[in-house]
Amino acid sequence: MAKRIMVQGTGSGVGKSVIVAALCRILTQDGYKATPFKSQNMSLNSYATADGLEIGRAQAFQAFAARKEPTVEMNPILLKPTSDTGAQVIVRGRPIGNMTAKEYHDYKPRALNLIEDCFEKLNRENDVVVIEGAGSPAEVNLRENDVVNMSIAKLLDAPVVLVGDIDKGGVFAWVVGTLELLEEEERELVKAILINKFRGDIDILKPGLEFLEKRINKPVIGVIPYFQDIWIQEEDSVSLSVAKGKTTVTSEEKAITIEVVQLPHIANFTDFDALEVEDDVSLRYVGGGEKLSEPDVIIIPGSKNTIGDLSYLENSGYASQIVDKAMSGKCEVFGICGGYQMLCSSITDPEGVESKLGATEGLGLLPATTVFESHARKMTNQVRAMADLPFYSGEIAGYEIHMGRTYFSEGKIKNAFRIFERSGEKVIDDGDGGGGAVYGNVIGTYIHGIFDNDAFRRAFLDHVRAIKGLLPLRADETKSKDKNTRGIDWDAEYNKLADVVRNNVDMDKIYDIIFFSSSERYG
């Protein structure tokens, strides 16, 4: 039976997901079978497992850090917000419906049994389960029906490391205040404090750490520096407002400019990580009323509220800007998932599957129609497809997570990608738009992770270069590990992350917490 450790935070965005990923990799490096677990995740960044179930993208990232295939047990409940007060509720990888905050609050007590069942499977198959909390355990209004923080720590007999983000400011008050608002039993579960995202001289910080340890009578077991040279997959779109710092040359020196429209309900923005590391690409997110510039490529990303975000494009002026630039022929327009649907002539949702707005005209850049129907199963599959594009004909892999089906309305439009395998099973793509469409300089697809395919990504970028009168980028002009592509060596990034945490945290105390802090109720 597995030992366990839980990472909770003083608030959202303090780095819990990253610390869990780092611990998963360190434990794996040290010879343990480790796995992540998060009972409830709220995120629009999701992932389709090999058996066609949907979990939070952060748990997939953590699973890969542990060198494991992601499974639904790692994230039993996923909430995908559709508005300020409601979300699609996904249980064991399948949607059970949309709920208001009040409805879900009332539902949560029923979720504890399935959460424990999922944990028990991981408990049997691993040496250590690294558990992630959500938000803050000090949200007293949520304590009664908590299914993700201290109630889970108590249920699973998990010792807790509390993480605070010093970069936000006020970390000492944050830590002290969090502990003050916990009940005595909960405070006892907190075994140590970890300070994250530190910039500056550690000697100047030491008096504050000594004060904190005396004030709370708990050890500070590490201070992790703020880093910008490691690629991590962010969980929340709030991270898009923060520069990631992977620039190798200035934007003015880069041949291709790509602008991603930052939608209010943007989903799976990690689709574009691989583009950001290409040496000839300058990629930025545009939102909040800022005008599009004169990019070579406009990308409309995925969305959890396609019709609502399409209305945002109309009301903010982005719709007319996108259409004008597409019609001018001076840039390529690429839509993924919800972005693909927005490119269509129309979108209908008569039963309110994803929006209460019913129906609307799309951007009209693809002669196709998208229809949402309640009886149609949500598509959550890992897929393989053949591309059929003027610049690339070859196999690609990715995953689809979407409601709605897209149907072509005239002969000029054609399939861009024909899916031939879903969740390991051979399928016949009947040409109804399931894989995607191409229509002149406009491409749309339901396939997430498409730019993670090295050969396709480089072919697309060289296609854009050719339009600009530039030669394809040669292999010797990149930091490529393979011919004509750079990509992201994720395994190396996990190792770099593990090194930073290992070198700045007292790992002996982490192991003491894991192996000597539980009452052995689970083993």
Q: What is the pLDDT of residue 430?
A: 54
Same domain? 348 vs 468: yes
Among 426, 428, 446, smallest CA distance to 436 is for 446
467 in any annotated domain: yes
DSSP 8-state class, residue 370: E
Q: Which of 95, 79, 97, 99 is nearest to 378 (CA)?
A: 95
| Structural domain contains residue 87 | no
501 and 373 in a single domain? The answer is no
Across residues 467-478, what is the average pLDDT? 77
Q: How far is it, in rounded angstroms, from Cα 522 to Cα 159?
A: 13
pLDDT for 249: 38
**Least confident among 64-78, 451-465, 484-498:** 484-498
Same domain, 355 and 437: yes
Assigned domain for 149 exists:
yes
CA distance 63 to 67: 6
Distance CA 493, CA 293 (A): 32
> CB of 125 within 8 A of CB of 523?
no
Q: Which of 5, 43, 41 is nearest to 22 (CA)?
A: 5
Are 296 and 187 found together in one domain? no
Q: Provide the number of structural domains found in the chain.
A: 2
What tokens appear for 357 in the block? Answer: 């707005």
Q: Is 363 exposed, middle or buried (0-12, 13-18, 19+ CB in 10 A)?
A: buried
Sign of CA dihedral 427, 429, 434, 435: positive
Q: Which helix (H) or strand (E) holds 191?
A: strand 190-198
Report residue 118 as tokens.
């999922």
Neighbour count for residue 278 (Cβ, 10 Å): 25
The most distant pair of C-alpha atoms in the chain lies apart, rounded to whole Å, by 74
Same domain as 498, residue 464: no
Q: Judge if 221 and 309 occupy the same domain.
A: no
With contact defined as beta carbons under 8 Å apart, do 15 and 108 qualify?
Answer: no
Does residue 267 sit in the same domain as residue 179? Answer: no
The pLDDT value recorded for residue 484 is 41
Low-confidence winner among 113-122, 155-164, 363-372, 432-441 (lowest mean pLDDT): 432-441
Look at 37-46, 271-280, 377-386, 468-477 and tell me which has the smallest mean pLDDT: 468-477
Residue-level pLDDT at 432:
56
387 falls within a domain: yes
**Separation of alpha carbons 13 and 238, rounded Å:** 9
CATH of the domain at 290: 3.40.50.880
Domain carrying residue 184: 3-40+110-231+491-516
For residues 156 and 219, state if they share a domain. Answer: yes
The model's pTM? 0.86
Region 202-231: mean pLDDT is 96
Range of lowest pLDDT (29-43, 73-87, 456-470, 484-498): 484-498
Instruction: Determine the pLDDT at residue 413.
Output: 87
> Cα separations (Å) of 325 from 40, 255, 260, 295?
41, 18, 14, 9
Task: Report the percentage of the chain scoring pLDDT > 70.
Answer: 92
The whole-number average pLDDT for the span 465-479 is: 78
Residue 144 has pLDDT above 90, yes or no: no
Residue 476 has pLDDT above 70, yes or no: no
Q: Residue 282 has which token pair? A: 């300058």
- Percent of the chain whose predicted confidence (pLDDT) is above 90: 78
CATH of the domain at 149: 3.40.50.300
- Residues classed as catalytic: 337, 448
23 and 168 share a domain? yes
412 by Cβ neighbours in 10 Å (0-12 / 13-18 / 19+) ranks as exposed
Is 39 within 8 Å of 77 (Cβ atoms)?
A: yes
* Domain match, 285 and 170 both: no
Rg (C-alpha) for the chain, rounded Å, is 23
Of residues 251, 260, 315, 257, the one with CA closest to residue 289: 315
For residues 428 and 499, state if they share a domain.
no
One domain for residues 192 and 287: no
Burial of 275 (0-12, 13-18, 19+ CB in 10 A): buried
